[in-house]
């Protein structure tokens, strides 16, 4: 397939459009003939990461790279950052606001779902922003 790359801007608190990035990438992977279990894992990881940028950050970007071996996605936002990453990874821990909860978010399962769905998962954070790298191998 060669190499497919792309980039999306993600708006803070744009809850109605949350899911567009994951939906687009899922469709791309299906078109490229990626196996269904892989597509499912990518969909879960990217959706959760996308939601995190929407409900927790001031906005950010998602860059993706698909090649013959893997799907790599980087989410980069502009803050305010995660105070304690270890705590944020605990199932059930959430800092989601009421509006996000009203939309069905805030279960405190997002990062855990991403970690479980990914082959490689790196997160770094400061008050200036959070960067999350997800790699899922397709072979």
Q: Which of 49, 22, 26 shows the shortest CA–CA distance to 38?
A: 26
Q: Per rule CB under 8 A, is residue 12 in the interface with other proteins? A: no
Q: How far is the CB of 2 from other proteins (least distance, A)?
A: 25
Q: Which of 136, 5, 7, 3 shows the shortest CA–CA distance to 67?
A: 3
Q: Per rule CB under 8 A, is residue 43 in the interface with other proteins? A: yes
Which residues, 77 to 136, sit near other proteins by CB under 8 A?
103-110, 112-113, 116
The sheet with strand 4-10 has its strands ordered as 4-10, 60-66, 70-77, 129-137, 120-126
Query: What number of chain residues touch other proteins (CB under 8 A)?
Result: 26
Q: How far is the CB of 107 from other proteins (least distance, A)?
A: 4
Q: Which of 90, 19, 29, 91 shows the shortest CA–CA distance to 52?
A: 19
Q: How far is the CB of 111 from other proteins (least distance, A)?
A: 9
Q: Which residues bind other proteins (CB under 8 A)?
A: 15-19, 22-23, 26, 36, 40, 43-44, 47-48, 51, 103-110, 112-113, 116
């Amino acid at each position: 397939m060669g190499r497919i790359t792309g980039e999306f801007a993600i708006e803070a608190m744009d809850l109605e459009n949350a899911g567009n990035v994951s939906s687009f990438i899922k469709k791309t992977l299906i078109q490229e003939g990626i196996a269904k279990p892989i597509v499912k894992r990518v969909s879960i990881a990217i959706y959760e990461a996308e939601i995190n940028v929407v409900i927790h950050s001031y906005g950010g970007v998602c860059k993706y790279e698909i090649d013959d071996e893997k799907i790599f996605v980087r989410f980069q936002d502009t803050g305010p950052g995660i105070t304690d990453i270890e705590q944020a990874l605990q199932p059930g821990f959430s800092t989601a606001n009421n509006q996000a909860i009203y939309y069905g978010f805030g279960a405190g399962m997002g990062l855990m779902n991403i970690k479980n769905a990914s082959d490689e998962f790196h997160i770094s954070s400061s008050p200036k922003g959070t960067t999350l790298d997800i790699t899922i191998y397709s072979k």
